[in-house]
Structure 1
């Protein structure tokens, strides 16, 4: 009986983990990199760009004015670097990171409105080079 209950608990945990990581979030719009400047202009100063890629990928090229908090550090540094009154556009190189970050930030009271997926065209294992290097 105890083993059966542990088995059921394990299955529930796996389903919850899979849902959080791989099921898309509703009402989150995908933006193309080429249209990002226009989107930011339309939101005026009401939007903040959050780049959740690894620090090294961010340094290889990022959008001017974006804040870099890698997905692993988001739970620690969100309070320090993000403004809760602004909407967020998330920049990432994996869908699963977008879904995780969106669910976490919505739970904290933020309003993610969209995302930009930044994947290398040559090889998905290579860092994204879709943004010019900005400081």
Structure 2
């Protein structure tokens, strides 16, 4: 990744595709913190993330939380950004965020996000994520209730 960063750093202008490629490279190479730091740098340079960037950044958050649930703050910061930027209202983004909160046992936040999605827009992915989360964390009755 050092070579990729070095090469990219020499570019006069970096667009969202360039930044997203770097961010995703760090995520895929097991360095989610660097991916999140790159997002901050990208925004400081006036480039806004797109949906692909957001997916990579959510993957970075998921990796952090799965390695250390104490890193939930990173996911919460991302959640705030998603609200401000309007990305939270995309079903695929909401589903990933529900999954992140679920993995670290923050079922209240996961359920809160589920509640913001209109019933007609909830799909099998989001229902599966929340039901599995309740089941995994010992709330079988709630999982069955949601299933019904």
TM-score strictly above 0.5 = no
Q: Name the structure where helix makes up a greater proportion of residues.
A: 2
TM-score (norm 2): 0.25
Higher relative contact order (CA 8 A, sep 6+): 1
TM-score (norm 1): 0.27
Q: Name the structure where strand makes up a greater proportion of residues.
A: 1
